[in-house]
Amino acid sequence: MSRYSGWAEVKRRMRENQPDVSDAEWESRKQAARTATEAYVVDHRLREIREEQG
């Protein structure tokens, strides 16, 4: 058996350790993280385009 945990196991333990956070709050946090990641990726791509154009 692996000594490493899978991502699903990590998320399950995190939710168990924070029972006061509602499902709506978890979904809100997940959406905020997704939005931040998408913004980072878009910014990176725009920077590459600017560098290509000079």
> What does the block give as tokens for 23?
């499902």
Of 38, 54, 47, 16, residue with least CA distance to 8: 16
pLDDT digits (tens, 9 = 90+) for 18-50: 989 898 998 999 999 999 999 999 999 999 999
- Can you tell me the distance from the alpha carbon of 37 to that of 5, in angstroms, rounded to the nearest whole number? 24
Spatial contact of 26 and 15, defined as CB atoms under 8 Å apart: yes
Helix (H, G, I), strand (E, B) or coil at 35: helix
**Per-residue model confidence (pLDDT) at position 43:** 95
pLDDT-based confidence at 3, cuts 50/70/90? Answer: confident
- Can you tell me the distance from the alpha carbon of 37 to that of 51, in angstroms, rounded to the nearest whole number? 21
Give the residue-averaged pLDDT of 8-23: 90
**Per-residue model confidence (pLDDT) at position 1:** 57
- pTM of the predicted model as reported, rounded to 2 decimal places: 0.66
